[in-house]
Chain A
Amino acid sequence: MGEKGKGWSLGLAALLGPAAFWLGVFFLLPLLLILAYSFGTSGIYGGLTLGFNPSNYLKVFDPLYLEITVRTLVIAFINTLLCLALGYPLAYFIALRGGRWKTALLILVMVPFWTSLLIRAYAWVVILGGNGIANRTLQFLGITDGPISLIFTPQAVLMGMVYSYLPFMILPLYATLERFDTSLKEAAHDLGAGRWHAFWRVTFPLSMPGVIAGSILVFIPSAGEFVIPNLLGGSQTVLLGNLIQQQFLNARDWAFGSALAVMLAVLLLGAIMFYVRRIGTEKLGGV
C-alpha cells in the first residue's frame, strides 16, 4: 500500500462511511447494548443494573426454556424445508419456462409484500375461522359436518410461516436459476444422463448458491418469529420470539430477555456456519 493505496482508501471511506455509520449506530450499538444487558440484573420494577451476572444465561438452561428453544429451531427448520420444496419448482418454472411471462410471474411472487404481514395474517384468521371460507367450503362439499379447528393450532402457525416466508426462498432461487446455462443440461443429456439424473447431478448443484441464500433468508427470521404464533396460534404455541417479547413487555426482566436474544443470535450464527461449511463457501460466490 503506497500513496496510491491511501487515496483509494479515502475514497472508499467516503463511499462506505454512511453505511458504516448507519450500521454502527443502529445495528452494532444496540447489539452490544443487548450483550451488556444480558449480564445485568433486572430490577423488580423494570429497569436494569449493569454488571457481570451470568445467572441470566443459567436460566436459559431451564428445561422449560430449552424445550421452547428446541421447538423454535424445529419449526424454523421444517418451515425452511417446506419453503424449499414449494419454492424450488416454482422458481425453476419461472426462470426456465417463464418465457414472456417471467416478469409478470415474478411480480406476482412479490405482490404479498405490498400489504403488511399483520393484515395478511388477519386475513388468514378470517379465512380459517369457524365461519370462514375454508370451513364453509369444506361443509358445502360435504367433507365435514360442522366447523373444524383449522386455526389456533401449531399446524396453522406453520402454514402461516410458510406463507409469509415463501417469497424469500423463491427470489434468490430464481436469481440463480435464471443465470443457469441450459446447454450444460443438454450436454448432460448428450452424455447419456436421464432427466432426473441430469437435474440432480447438474442443475441442482449449480443452483446451490440460491438454495443456501434462500434457506438462510427463511430460517433466520422464522427462528425469531413472534407475530404469527400469536395471531394464528392463539398464543398456544410459544416460540423463542414470544418468550423474549414476554420478558421485555410482561416480566420486566430485560436481562433475561437479552440473554435469550444473545443465545438465539449465537445459535443462528452457529447453524449458518455449519450449513455453509458443509456445503462450501465457494458456492456462495454465485449469489
Chain B
Amino acid sequence: MHRNTDAKRITRRRFLKVAGAGAFAGSTLSILAACQPDTTAQSGNGGEEGGNGGDGGGNGRLNFYNWSDYVAESTIPGFEEETGATVTQDTYASNEELLAKLQAGGTGYDVIVPSDYMVAIMAKSDVIQELDFEKIPNFENVGENFRGLSYDPENRFSVPYQWGTTGILYNQAELGEINSWDLMFDEQYSVQIAMIDDVRETLGVALYRLGYSVNATDPGQLEEAKQMLIEQKPLLRGYFDSTEISPQVANGDILLGHVFSGEGILTALENEGLAYVIPSPAATRWTDNMCIPNGARNPELAHEFINYILAEEPGAELTNYTYYGTPNEAALPLIDEELQEIPEWNPPDEVFERLEVIEDVGEATRDYERIFTEVKSS
C-alpha cells in the first residue's frame, strides 16, 4: 500500500518537475478555458457514446467534472473496478466556468467539485440537487471541522472533497523563517514576488493585512485594500495561477509566491531551502466539495462515487496524490508520514482558528472585480 502510493506521488512530482523545467507548461490552461474546453477522458474505454454502458455487470457511466490534476491516478480505476461503471472525467479551470456551464444546461455531468462559496451560489441558483445521505454512509468519516460549513450549513447539497489553505511558498534559505504577509510588500524583494491571479485571494491578502475580513464589503475597507495592492504592484513579477507560481519559486526566479497549500507543500518537499507558510494575521482556508448537478444522468452512481471518495483507502490515495488536506478522518492514518510531519498540511487548532473562509459577497462581486482591474492596470 505504501509503496503503491509512493509510486503515485513520484508520478505527480515528475509531472511538476517537467512543468518546472518548461517554466510552467501544462497544468493551467485557464486562459483558453473560454475558447477550448479542456476535455480529457481518463478512463480507457470512456468513449463518447459510453460503449459499455449496459454491458454485462456494467453499472452505467459516470461523468465526473473536476479541476485538472485533482484526482489520484488510482481513484477512477479503483471505482470502476469496484462498481463496473465507466468514468469519464472532464476538467475546468474556475468555479465561474463551472457555474456558467451548468447554467447553460444539458451538461450531463454527474459529480462536480465546486469550492465553498460556489456551493452556496449553485444551491441558490438551483443548479445542484439535494444529496441523499442514506446512500452516503461514509459521510460519518467527515471530520467535525468540515461539516455544516457556512456555505451549506446543514450539508444538504455538498460533501467535502479536499481542503487547503492559501499561503506563501518562499525561499527560506534566502529569507530565513517568515510568518507574515509583510515581506510580500517589502521593496527589498522587488520583482521577486508573485501573487495569485484571483480577485478574492489577492484582495484578501490586503484585507487580512489591514485586519479586515476577507469577505469585507465596506467601500472604505475595500478602498484601503486597493491602495495597498496598487503600492505593491511595482514589486510584483506578475499575477499568475498558483500552478505557475511554484515553479518560479523553485527555479529561483522569485523569492516569494502566493500559492495554494498543495502546490506549496509539494514544491517545498521537492526543493531544498523552500518552505510553505500560513502567514499571520490571517489566511484563507477553502474546501472543495462534491455535488450532484440537477439533470445528472446517473445520480445513483454519483452517490456511490461520493461514498467511494469518503472511504478510508480511496480518501488517503487521493490526498497522498494531491498533497491537499483531507476532510476524511478515517483516511488520516493512511496518509504518508512525510506529509503528516508537516504542520502546515494539517494545521494545529491555534493556526486553524485564524483561517477564514471566502464567502460569496453578492452584489459586491463586481466592486471586487473593478478594484482588481484597477490594480492590474495601474
Interface residues of A (CB under 8 A from B): 44-47, 62, 64, 67-68, 71, 118, 122, 125-126, 129-132, 147, 149, 152, 226-227, 230-231, 233-236, 238, 243, 245-253
Contact = CB atoms under 8 A, between A and B. Distances in A.
Contacts of A233: 238
A131 B21 CA distance: 10
B373 A64 contact: yes
B369 A236 contact: no
Chain A, interface SS category:
loop
27 contacts: A45-B125, A46-B125, A64-B370, A64-B374, A68-B377, A71-B377, A122-B25, A126-B22, A129-B251, A129-B253, A130-B248, A149-B237, A152-B238, A233-B238, A234-B239, A234-B240, A236-B236, A238-B376, A243-B373, A245-B34, A246-B369, A247-B369, A248-B100, A249-B33, A249-B96, A250-B96, A251-B365
Contact of A236 (B100, B199, B239, B362): B239
B230 interface: no
A129 B253 CA distance: 8
A235 B376 contact: yes
Contact of B97 (A47, A126, A249, A253): A249
A74 to B, nearest CB: 13
A236 B238 contact: yes
Contacts of A152: 237-238
Given A44-B365, A64-B373, A238-B373, A248 B197 contact: no
A252 B251 contact: no
Given A126-B22, A250-B96, A118 B103 contact: no
Nearest to A129: B23
A147 B192 CA distance: 12
B373 A248 contact: no
Contact of A252 (B23, B96, B124, B197): B96
Contact of B369 (A68, A125, A251): A251
Interface string B229-244: 0000100111110000
A47 B22 contact: no
B24 interface: yes
Contacts of B237: 149, 152, 234
B1 interface: no
A149 B374 CA distance: 23
Contacts of B125: 45-47
B94 A249 contact: yes
B131 interface: no
Contacts of A234: 194, 236-240
Of the listed residues A46, A71, A131, A132, the one surrounded by the most CB atoms of chain B closer than 10 A to its CB is A46
Interface string B68-107: 0000000000000000000000000010110110010000
B91 to A, nearest CB: 15
Contacts of A132: 23
Interface residues of B, number: 42
B372 to A, nearest CB: 8
Contacts, number: 102
A148 to B, nearest CB: 10
A47 B199 CA distance: 20
Nearest to A235: B239
A242 to B, nearest CB: 8
A222 to B, nearest CB: 16
A227 B377 contact: no
A195 B178 CA distance: 68
A246 B24 CA distance: 22
B126 to A, nearest CB: 10
Contacts of B124: 45
B3 interface: no
A200 to B, nearest CB: 40
B143 interface: no
Contact of A45 (B32, B121, B377): B121
A249 B34 contact: yes
Given A64-B377, A236-B376, A246-B369, A47 B103 contact: yes
Give the 9 A-B residue pairs with the shortest CB-CB distance, closest first. Answer: A234-B238, A130-B253, A251-B369, A235-B239, A152-B238, A238-B377, A125-B23, A45-B121, A45-B125
Interface in B207-254: 233, 236-240, 248, 251-253
B252 A130 contact: yes
Given A67-B377, A122-B22, A235-B238, A227 B94 contact: no
Given A234-B238, A249-B96, 19 more contacts: A44-B362, A45-B121, A46-B125, A67-B377, A118-B31, A122-B23, A122-B24, A122-B25, A129-B23, A131-B253, A226-B31, A234-B239, A235-B239, A236-B233, A236-B236, A236-B376, A249-B34, A250-B96, A253-B369
A149 B191 CA distance: 8
B4 to A, nearest CB: 33
Contacts of A131: 251-253
Contact of B363 (A44, A149, A238): A44
B139 to A, nearest CB: 27
Given A126-B23, A246-B373, A46 B34 contact: no
Interface string B5-24: 00000000000000000111
Given A64-B370, A122-B22, A125-B24, A46 B31 contact: no
B29 interface: yes
Contacts of A64: 370, 373-374, 377
Contact of B96 (A46, A67, A227): A46
Contacts of B369: 246-247, 250-251, 253
